[in-house]
Structure 1
Amino acid sequence: MPIRRPVQGKLLYAQSGGVTAVINATAAGVIEAARARGVKAYAARNGILGALREDLIDTGKESKAAIAALRHTPGGAFGSCRYKLKSLEANRAEYERLIEVFRAHDIRWFLYNGGNDSADTALKLSQIGKAMGYDLRCIGVPKTVDNDLAVTDCCPGFGSVAKYTAISTLEASLDVASMAETSTKVFILEVMGRHAGWIAAAAGLAGNGPDEAPHVILFPENVFEEAAFLAKVKATVERVGWCTVVASEGIRNSAGQFLADAGTHDAFGHVQLGGVAPTLAALVKQKLGYKYHWALPDYLQRSARHAASKVDAEQAYAVGKAAVDCALAGMNAVMPVIVRISDAPYRWKVESAPLAKIANREKKMPKGFIARDGFGITAAARRYLAPLIQGEAVPPYGTDGLPRYVTLKNAAVERKLPAWRP
């Protein structure tokens, strides 16, 4: 058997933005693929901030079993962050610092696991590497619960949120139906989705037909019209006896204002949202007089690994492995994306796509996926969504009845440079 010689240079992997139930499966795909190719893999602690601070983790200190366990562990194993690098023109120093860190540790491949902003960062780093004469391959790795990345058929992380949302809608609606005679008439579930209604649409998989929940879905792609919404709720309660509403956090009124604007902004400059469910509930109470309940699952949507989609978990692992293959093949400024081959049976593959076609572009719900009345999904949407929630990827459970998740050692790599001063 030939001796496998270590590849010259190291690989750095970083997680970005809000994590998903399966982002660690991507990390496992990256690390296992790197090990199989004889490449030393580091991880940045707390995303791009770890790279800037030279706060790197040696994944080689982790056992084979620990890395394998990442495939069923939620959260971000190495820490993530919401930190947006400015443009090259506005803050070239940050990009030069990153190249300085990479040079000090002989990092030749940088894999950034995130969404639109992360794809943009990876693209810019590939450009600054060339400008500074440093041989660096930058690969974007897809991840977002919002399913809003361009080019890729779906985003790893979305399928599990979609499954959790559909299950929650189904189960809560059975509860409401059983109590509607003397108690709750309207139940409102608020889901994530700033500009794209993919998660809200996934709730539509819970039922089929006008009398099955969810009866009303509110998409950010549509302008929220109070009168039409109230009329739909009233008609549903009078016909069915109760009504389940699923609302995206990003719905806006005719003036373009978010119904759930919290008045603050995050690190990416986005308006902080949250609270559309109680806003709608108050409206239902005031205008229709119905007793209501509402729920805001928030982080539960993206951390519910116990209800993950098997398809999603497999795709998350596959893009991690493919990212390493792309990097070691000499590709630069690309992203491994999901390509759908067929709906039934559902078949897919992974191909590479240029980051320039993905960075800072947002994929919204097609008009053909939203029902004519604006409150539901079409058959086309169901054909697209249904395969993504298929299968169960159940984590192992302990004798205490809880999932057995892994916590890594995350041993630090010795620093070689002066501290970073932002």
Structure 2
Amino acid sequence: MAAKKMNAFYAQSGGVTAVINASACGVIETARKHKDKIGKVYAGRNGIIGALTEDLIDTSKESTKAVAGLRTTPSGAFGSCRFKLKSLEANKREYERLIEVFKAHNIGYFFYNGGGDSADTCYKVSQLSETLGYPVQAIHVPKTVDNDLPITDNCPGFGSVAKYIAVSTLEATFDVRSMCATSTKVFVLEVMGRHAGWIAAAGAMASTKDCELPIVVLFPEVLFDQKKFLAKVNGLVKKFGYCTVVVSEGCHYPDGKFLAEQGTRDAFGHAQLGGAAPVVANMVKDALGYKFHWGVADYLQRAARHIASKSDVDQAYAMGKAAVEFALKGHNSVMPTVERVSNAPYKWKVGMAPLSKVANVEKMMPKNFITADGFGITEKCRQYLAPLMKGEDYPSYKDGLPQYVTLKNVAVPKKLSKFDL
């Protein structure tokens, strides 16, 4: 435990979101309110890599206004990375370096803002820092558009992506509806989601009781059946004259092969995905002859701060704030969570989960959230998703563009020798 006034280290990990900076804002503003217990907050430039290379950013050099501006700014203000620490046995050198850097800069608090892989890193640091002779309080700050962290009701970053995809699906479907008589009959939208179909599910929210739209969703949780899928699309086009397909990048065949697999791997060792939309669109054209268009939401879905969900922004900030408060209460190796109290009205509170039960665990969509035919969402899923998408929290605008913050990111003077990754 941090027995004296010590500095804190904060870093962002993995794919960024529209609201990860709101969590950063929560961490920094809360730490500044406790200057009697926490010294400076140092941020890692490009995530945990900043700690390993001693490339630290002094957030005390940022004005109160600039830090507050993080709440309405998308992406990662300090830079992120895809870098997963191996086990102590596999790479003791990296852990020793982390502790060396923390020691040199009097860092006793470690706040790591990310998804499943960063939860694993945070857990390892919390477990091994004491073994290496320098105990560090490690708190994981949840973030992932994939919404696949366990225990927490939902993950900051997801609500805004869900809202963006629901709106995009709605607007694109209106577009194809207007053109279907003489032109496009099928539009395919590819969204993120390697193993969990939460984002794809949000596309189905575009169809409501007041405005029924023909939307087909392809989930990673449902094995892809080409014959069944084509029959579904054909039936909807026959009935409505058009349809929209929302396909998760993680949609795969019964043998486990992704529709979008490229045969390459990312920095975490995951199969590199991308291209499910054209695969599905051409499948429709070849089998049914329908004219199509397709699009890939890609970075647009996770960077769309202009249409962020207020619920999401509030929860992202609350997770950062709670992380600091947990540390000050002496907690270690934990993650603040969102606990849903009720749906109508929507109420939630901050909870806490041990990292031992979070690291390396993925939360998939429950079977009762997916319709029996495997191509849509149930009412239970709608009740879960709707509150996460509600509310607006617009940034300020100037000349038609949102005003986002770019920090100075002043480097902390180095004290140690160079470290090669």
TM-score normalised by L of structure 1: 0.97
Q: Which residue of the partner structure matches residue 387 of structure 2?
A: 387
Q: Do 1:214 and 1:246's aligned partners in 2 also have CA atoms closer than 8 Å?
A: no
Kept in 2, the 8 Å contact 1:211–1:240? The answer is no
1:24 touches 1:75 (CA, 8 Å); kept in 2? yes
Q: How does 1:323-334 map to 2 (within 5 A)?
A: 323-334=323-334
Q: What is the aligned partner in structure 2 of residue 258 from structure 1?
A: 258
Find the aligned partners of 2:415 and 2:254 in 1 and give their Cα distance: 55
Stretches of structure 1 that go unaligned for 5 or more consecutive residues are 1-6
Distance 1:203 1:232 in 2: 17
The unaligned stretches of length 5 or more in structure 2 are none
Aligned partner letter, 1:18 = G
Following TM superposition, by how much is the alpha carbon of 1:421 offset from its aligned partner in structure 2, in angstroms? Answer: 2.3
Native 8 Å contact 1:204 1:214 kept in 2: no
Q: Give the CA deviation at 1:211.
A: 8.2
- In the alignment, is the contact (CA less than 8 A) between 2:253 and 2:259 conserved in 1? yes
Residue 32 (str. 1) matches residue 23 (str. 2): no
Distance in 1 (alpha carbons) for counterparts of 2:345 and 2:351 = 20
Task: Provide the residue aligned with 1:304 in structure 2.
Answer: 304
Q: How does 1:345-384 map to 2 (within 5 A)?
A: 345-384=345-384
The residue type paired with residue 131 of structure 1 is T
Distance 2:135 2:242 in 1: 62
Q: Which residue does 1:281 correspond to in 2?
A: 281
Deviation at 1:74, TM superposition (A): 0.5
User: How far, CA to CA, are the matches of 1:212 and 1:292 in structure 2?
Assistant: 21
- Give how far 1:208 is off: 2.7
Find the residue that maps to 2:129 and give its secondary structure. helix
Q: How does 1:163-202 map to 2 (within 5 A)?
A: 163-202=163-202
Amino acid at match of 1:76: G
Paired AA for residue 405 in structure 1 = Y
Deviation beyond 6 Å, 4+ runs, structure 1:
none
Summarize deviations over 1:210-256 as a string: whole Å, max 9, x none.
98335210000011000000000000000011011100010111221
List per-residue Cα deviations over 1:45-67 (Å, max 9, x = no partner). Answer: 00000000000000000000000
- State the secondary structure of the residue aligned to 1:131: coil
Shift of 1:134: 1.2
Q: Is the 8 A contact 1:169 1:213 kept in 2?
A: no
Partner of 1:99: 99
Corresponding residue of 1:269: 269
**What's the counterpart of residue 414 of structure 1?**
413
Letter in 1 for 2:395: P
Pairing partner for 1:10 from 7, 17, 29: 7
1:22-72 per-position Cα deviation (integer Å, ceiling 9, x unaligned): 000000000000000002111000000000000000000000000000000
Query: Measured at CA, do residues 344 and 77 of structure 1 come closer, stay the same or move farther in structure 2, by a change above 3 Å?
Result: same
SS state of the match for residue 130, structure 1? coil
Task: Find the residue that maps to 1:341 and give its secondary structure.
Answer: strand
Q: Distance in 2 between matches of 1:421 and 1:247?
A: 40
Q: Given the alignment of the two structures, is residue 342 of structure 1 paired with residue 342 of structure 2, yes or no?
A: yes
Partners of 2:214 and 2:240 within 8 A in 1:
no
Aligned to 1:243: 243
Structure 2 CA distance for partners of 1:20 and 1:148, relative to 1, 3 Å: same
Number of residue equivalences: 415
CA distance in 2: counterparts of 1:376 and 1:297, whole angstroms: 19
Residue of structure 2 equivalent to 1:4: none
Of 106-115 and 253-262, more deviation after overlay is shown by: 253-262
What code does the residue aligned with 1:257 have? K
CA contact (8 A) 1:96 1:128 kept: no
Q: SS state of the match for residue 325, structure 1? A: helix
**2:214, 2:236 within 8 Å by CA — same for their partners in 1?**
no
Name the CA distance, whole Å, in 2 between partners of 1:249 and 1:149: 18
The aligned amino acid for 2:104 is: A
How far residue 133 of structure 1 moved from its aligned partner, in angstroms, is 2.3
Counterparts of 1:65-214 in structure 2, within 5 Å, are 65-208=65-208, 212-214=212-214
**Partner-residue secondary structure (3-state), 1:295:** strand
Alpha-carbon distance between aligned partners in 1 of 2:13 and 2:211, rounded to the nearest angstrom: 41
Q: Name the residue aligned to 1:23.
A: 20
Letter in 1 for 2:9: L
Structure-2 separation of matches of 1:97 and 1:133: 13
- The whole-number CA distance in structure 2 between the counterparts of 1:264 and 1:94 is 26
Q: Deviations over 1:102-155 (max 9, x none)?
A: 000000000000011111111110111110221310000100000000010000
CA contact (8 A) 2:126 2:135 kept: no
Contact kept in structure 1, 2:169 and 2:206, CA below 8 Å: yes
CA distance in 2, matches of 1:270, 1:182: 42
Deviation digits for residues 297-336 of structure 1 (CA, Å, limit 9, x no counterpart): 1000100000100000000000000000011111110000
Instruction: Say if 2:13 and 2:81, in contact at 8 Å, map to a contact too.
Output: yes
TM-score where L is the length of structure 2: 0.97
Query: Using the alignment, how far apart are the partners of 1:223 and 1:316 within structure 2?
Result: 33
| Alignment-mate amino acid for residue 312 of structure 1 | D
Q: More deviation in 199-208 or 361-370?
A: 199-208
Amino acid at match of 2:125: L
Whole-Å separation in 2 of the counterparts to 1:110 and 1:396: 32
For 1:370 and 1:393, locate their aligned partners in 2 and report how far apart those are by CA, in whole Å.
Answer: 30
Q: Distance in 2 between matches of 1:41 and 1:209?
A: 49
Shift of 1:209: 5.8
* SS across alignment from 1:421: coil
Amino acid aligned to 1:11: A
Larger displacement relative to structure 2 (156-165 or 252-261): 252-261
What is the letter of the counterpart of residue 28 of structure 2? I
SS where residue 12 of structure 1 aligns? strand
Identity across matched positions, percent: 64
In 2, distance between residues paired with 1:195 and 1:355? 21
* Counterpart secondary structure, 2:401: coil
